[in-house]
Structure 1
Amino acid sequence: MEFSIKSGSPEKQRSACVVVGVFEPRKLTLTGEVLDNAARNHLSDIIRRGDMEGKAGSTLLLHNVPGTLCDRVLLVGLGKEKEFGDKEFADAIRVAVRTLNETGSFDGTVFLTDTAVRRRSTAWRVRQAVIVAHEAVYRFDQFKSKKDKVRRPLRKLTFVVDRRNELAAAEAALIQGQAIGEGLNLAKDLANLPANVCTPSHLAEAAQKLAVEHKLDCQIIDRDEMNALGMHSLLAVASGSRQPAKLIVLQYKGGKGDDKPLALIGKGITFDTGGISLKPAAEMDEMKYDMCGAASVLGTMKAVAALKLPLNLTVIVPAAENMPGGGATRPGDIVTSMSGQTIEILNTDAEGRLILCDALTYAARFDPDIVVDVATLTGACVIALGHVATGLFANNDTLARELLHAGDEAHDRAWQMPLWSDYQELLKSPFADMSNVGGRSAGSVTAACFLARFARKYVWAHLDIAGTAWKSGNEKGATGRPVSLLVHYLLKRAGRLH
């Protein structure tokens, strides 16, 4: 889809559809009032008759509105004006774009971006509108023999700002939103693939393709080299599968040569049966999403490279399939990680931390300024935070605050959880340096505490996206989170977010 920015009056737009908002109860936005005046009170008459109350999520499509140059006018309910915040704005953009896409409008001119949102600038509104528009039209249907085709799909969206002196900032925000949207689409495409297609080797091929597209350095480390490096914890997870494990390393060098890189690590379990500690059959198909951490860091890399941000970024993806088999790791086995620390594997379904710990050790060789790992790590995080917030753990308060702020800015929110040393006691093992699980209590915390033992050499944070990486039910599919959070954080680090 093509996006553009402009400033102008709604009645003068030669467009298939002009979109304006209506607050509850029956109150046009300022732009809506301008359009209504040009239409000789046509809109207000319709609203007064009760056809549009302004309830959030409601729409009303009007044809042949007098005094205008557009083919249609779409009224979008915004809810109560005092409650119009980040979520309400995103919901309004989403319903507007979906309606335009489904009603035959080849293009739309959206005036919702000139409606005030608490605490948010015009640039924020434009950036978010582009991101949400990508989400609204996203489809994953490549495996359907008969695709549900949109008769006349939306091809162009124009977002309007009310002041010409804001056009430059809005243009920059539009470019950022476009890059984030494309990064989200890559993350969702990879995550939605079935596990018989998206193997560790497929992830490696996707990374190589990304490297060619954006001139990145790419290294794929195979089993023999991982074995030579001492990555026996990572290899233990892959030991029951016919699919070979891969360690994927991508480097973007947009900063100065001596700038320390920022490192992102993404958990890449392309399917998780639980191994010998087999999961229940119900909803096990969703375990193809256990590589959403990997998908999100690759999507983030795509956005950063497209924006040519002035920083150095290293992405590391430990990729493996966790399967039962004759060679699979058993509960009670002890392995030696790359760090030299030994791990008693009490539960083979706590495998994400086993591949991440070796990746965290490997990351130290890049002398990173910060490291953030992203993983669908624990069901306990879903119980703690549901499907709204990502769990955030960090060994540095400044990094934690920066990530929390980025999540708020991106409306891709996280919530900080404790990483106190008191919880480390739960990981004690009588036979090894640690066990890989700490019991039922504080499961997401003990998982993070496990990872913390391998991240002592640098500033580090862990994002547990088990509750936010995908949706179940009627809207089943990957969300792409936390691509937006990560890109906003990196935009801020690069001095490009204002």
Structure 2
Amino acid sequence: MTLQFSLDTAAPETVDTACVLVGVYEHGVLTSAAAQLDSAAGGMLKRQVESGDISGKAGSSTLLFAPTGVAAKRVLVVGLGTQKSFDAARFQKVNLEAARALGRLPVADAVSYLTEVDVPGRDSAWRVRIAALASDHAAYRYTATFKPRDKNKQPELTALAFAANADAQVGLDQAVAIADGVRFARELANLPPNICNPAYIAAQAQAFADTQDKVSCKVLDHVEMEKLGFGSLLAVARGSINKPRLIALEYKGGNDGDKPYAFVGKGVTFDSGGISLKPGAGMEEMKFDMGGAAGVLGAFVAAVKMGLKLNLVCVVPSVENMPDGDSYRPSDVLTSLSGLTIEVLNTDAEGRLILCDALTWTAQNYQPKAMVDAATLTGACVVALGKHASGLMSKHDDLAAELLAAGEETLDRAWRLPLWDDYQTQLDSGFADVANIGGKSAGAITAACFLSRFTDGQRWAHLDIAGTAWDEGRKGLATGRPVALLAQWLLDRAG
């Protein structure tokens, strides 16, 4: 169920809602809204603080029922941590934890005064946007492949208001659009591969285009791609009964004739590794190997919903990588769409083989202003950066700076790794123009170096989201990253 967001300017003690949220710092420091509630309730909050029931620890929460003098039925007191070190990341965390706590309560509506908390260097529109996105993220439930639940269950949170004046409306509007994109990405990535295959992604893209006046969708099947010369992409797809698709969404929000910005997303709907078969343990997580596709599609949805005044294209090469009698093999030499030949040293390095053809096709057909690809490309990037930062590689310092700044603004952060020509020699081959892997060292960088061979003359950047696209473990869900980062980058470009 989608959360409905709004703004509220009422005093916290007067708002008639199922639950009102206020913040308290450590050492008993009350926020302005908490102090107002405390005064109306005859010092109830201060007594709870003095007794130790309210600690103020960041992300903690304490529920109070119907205090006298307060119109709300419940008060959720959320810990903010130490006031001196409160920052943007802490603000996001406490709003996420507050929404999770709300989700455990039998309430249908709530009003949060956490957006009144001061965050150094951030205005109310930013605070509302981050709070709404964190709340929507916490409220998301994957239900597509579960038995339908009893409709007579307890109430669930459906409406959340944030304390802010009209100046914050722009932030709320952006949050609603970006949340739509994040949910689109998460739902697509969470679906199992027996449902979410290349044809399914194409159908979802087409269905979205059908609802939007300024959006069109083009889908190439394997026959059309073979005629065009997609030798690298088609080789990866050969082992699967699920045929590949190349999906291109176009949004014309700018002027006619303006070159578009371009996203390209890796859409491997299941990656067994092919003939270079992956170990069985954890292979179920390889349904998330289309996280790049999900991310760029989600960012495209967000841009359209925000009505950005620019032109945008989103290209998704989508395949399944499976072992079969017709699968491509280590030592095969492929001819890519660009004409460069590729020696296959490992069939589990398939993402770059579908991306290289997609990048070539995108550049040839759209001559974009800038092109950004997103891909769950390498385990090496996870080793280097963990689950917190996406890897960013580009030869264009200005483009890299733009993307890094967008990540800092949205807290969907990336970290730049080098893309020096020094690393290119690791891809030397005795049998083709380039090898598809560069050995054990600098794996994330050599993967980007491979892609750079197919982006000559393009203003291009690569995001490796292997560590950030989903949470670990058997119950880990897709995160929806890097939708927020890419949406912010486009917002900045649209002025």
Tell me whether 1:173 sits opposite 2:176 in the alignment. no
Identify which range, 184-193 or 59-68, moves more after superposition.
Answer: 59-68
Q: Which residue of 1 aligns with 2:60?
A: 58
The reply to whether residue 314 of structure 1 matches residue 313 of structure 2 is yes
- Residue 405 (1) aligns with residue 402 (2): no
Give the deviation of 1:248 after TM superposition.
0.3
Per mean C-alpha deviation after superposition, the further-off stretch among 293-302 and 371-380 is 293-302
Q: Do the aligned residues in 1 keep the contact of 2:144 with 2:191 (CA within 8 Å)? A: no
Matched AA of 2:36: V
Please show how residues 236-251 of structure 1 align to structure 2 within 5 Å: 236-251=235-250
Query: Which deviations, in whole Å up to 9, do the C-alpha atoms of 1:264-285 show, x marking residues without a partner?
Result: 0000000000000000000000
Query: Which of 194, 209, 212 matches 2:210?
Result: 212
Alpha-carbon distance between aligned partners in 2 of 1:70 and 1:422, rounded to the nearest angstrom: 63
Q: Secondary structure at the match of 1:470?
A: coil
> Who is 1:13 aligned against?
15
Does 2:332 correspond to 1:302? no
Superimposed CA distance per residue, residues 38-90 of structure 1 (whole angstroms, 9 cap, x where no aligned partner): 22212112211111110112111111212221111110011111222222212
CA–CA distance in structure 2, aligned partners of residues 363 and 172 of structure 1: 33
Unaligned regions of 5+ residues in structure 2, if any?
Answer: none
2: CA distance, partners of 1:124 / 1:395: 31
Cα distance in structure 2, aligned partners of 1:132 and 1:184: 11
- Answer yes or no: is 1:473 the counterpart of 2:476: no
**Farther off after superposition, 465-474 or 425-434:** 465-474
**Contact 1:101–1:152, Cα closer than 8 Å, also in 2:** no
1:445-484 superposed matches below 5 A: 445-473=445-473, 475-484=475-484
Aligned residues: 490
What's the % identity of the aligned pairs? 51
Contact 1:36–1:43 under 8 Å retained in 2: yes
The code of the aligned residue for 2:240 comes to S
The TM-score normalised by the length of structure 2 is 0.97
Q: Which runs of 4+ in 1 moved over 4 A?
A: none
After superposition, the Cα gap between the structure-2 partners of 1:148 and 1:415, relative to the gap in structure 1 and judged at 3 Å, is farther
* Aligned amino acid, residue 432 of structure 1: A
Q: Could you say which residue in structure 1 is the equivalent of 2:82?
A: 80
Distance across 2 between alignment mates of 1:298 and 1:201: 15
Residues in 2 aligned to 1:50 and 1:323: alpha-carbon distance in whole angstroms: 57
Contact 1:42 1:66 (C-alpha < 8 Å) held by counterparts: no
Whole-angstrom distance in 2 between the partners of 1:99 and 1:152: 14
- Mapping for residues 39-438 of structure 1, pairs under 5 Å: 39-145=41-147, 147=149, 151-161=154-164, 164=165, 167-168=166-167, 170-215=168-213, 216-364=215-363, 365-438=365-438
Shift of 1:473: 2.2
Which amino acid is 2:104 matched to?
Answer: E
SS of the residue corresponding to residue 312 of structure 2 reads strand
Aligned to 2:441: 441
Q: Indicate the larger mover: 462-471 or 82-91.
A: 82-91
Which amino acid counterpart does residue 57 of structure 1 have in structure 2? Answer: G
Structure 1 position 146, deviation (Å): 5.3
Gaps of 5+ in 1: none
**Residues 113 and 160 in structure 1, CA contact (< 8 A), matched pair in contact too:** yes
1 CA distance for matches of 2:97 and 2:440? 41
Deviates more, 1:93-102 or 1:389-398: 93-102
Conservation of the 8 A alpha-carbon contact between 1:237 and 1:354: yes
SS at structure 1 position matched to 2:154: coil
> How far off its partner does 1:312 sit?
0.3
Q: Any idea what SS the aligned residue of 1:313 has?
A: strand
**Secondary structure of the residue that 1:391 maps to in structure 2?**
strand
Paired residue secondary structure (2:211)? helix
Asked if the contact 2:33–2:113 (Cα under 8 Å) also holds between the matched residues in 1, the reply is: yes
What whole-Å deviation, never above 9, does each CA across 1:396-441 have from its counterpart, x for those lacking one? 1000000000001111000000000000000000110010000001
* Cα distance per residue 1:376-397 (max 9 Å; x no partner): 0000000000000000001210
Q: Deviations over 1:263-309 (max 9, x none)?
A: 00000000000000000000000000000100111111111111111
- Alpha-carbon displacement from aligned partner over 1:108-155 (angstroms, at most 9, x marks no partner): 110000001122111111001111111111111221125488611012
- The structure-2 alpha-carbon separation of the partners of 1:148 and 1:297, relative to structure 1 and needing over 3 Å to count, comes to farther
Query: What are the Cα deviations for residues 205-259 of structure 1, in whole angstroms up to 9, with x where unaligned?
Result: 0110111122311110011111111110000000111111100000000000121
Q: Tell me the secondary structure at the aligned position of residue 13 of structure 1.
A: coil
Q: Distance in 2 between matches of 1:12 and 1:145?
A: 41
> TM-score, normalized by length of structure 1?
0.97
